[in-house]
Amino acid sequence: MPNTYTLIASVTVGSGGAASIDFTSIPSTYTDLVVKLSGRANADVVAVICSINSSALDSGKRLRGDGSTVASASSAEAYGVNNSGATASTFSNAEWYFPNYAGSNYKSVSMDAVAENNGSAAYMSINAGLENTTSAISSLSFAPNGGNWVQYSTAVLYGIKNS
């Protein structure tokens, strides 16, 4: 059976930047959710904090590399965000996948992120996270772990139906 992606919402940060990119009033009519982000922060940060229904993820595991080292950690933050020290006017890419987001089980998420940089290091990571709520996901927020998103950072929310 094919999966069908439906655009629910997209956000592009305007001039002056934004502390977070938020999606609210998410309908519970899909099977899964996907968020695709192209972003850059204006501070020396490298991670994104995802919040579900106004609560940061309760737990997570992360594997990240920077071109010369690899590390793992118990963290739900997605590494791989371009920051003020990265190649100018270059944005990173990340994706979050939320299966069974409207079900009554705890909410799991898988993430991957990669920074684009012509420097000596560029972070990339894969993550798994968990939010201990049985409520349907009705809002999502994505914020750099310092500073703000710069103008033209963009996030797109898709609903997926297995049909």
Distance CA 111, CA 97 (A): 6
* Alpha-carbon separation of residue 39 from 13, 66, 73, 108, 151 (angstroms): 9, 18, 23, 23, 9
Tokens encoding 158 = 């898709």
Cβ atoms of 146 and 45 within 8 Å: the answer is yes
Question: What is the pTM assigned to this prediction?
Answer: 0.91
Q: What's the sign of the alpha-carbon dihedral 7, 8, 13, 17?
A: negative
Query: Which candidate, 44, 87, 53, 77, places its Cα nearest to that of 143?
Result: 77
Position 97 scores a pLDDT of 96
Tokens encoding 83 = 């920051």
Which residue ranges form the domains of the chain, and what is each CATH number?
3-162 (2.60.120)
Tokens encoding 103 = 């079900």
Position 2 scores a pLDDT of 54
**DSSP label at 9?**
E
Q: Which residues of the chain have pLDDT under 50?
A: 1
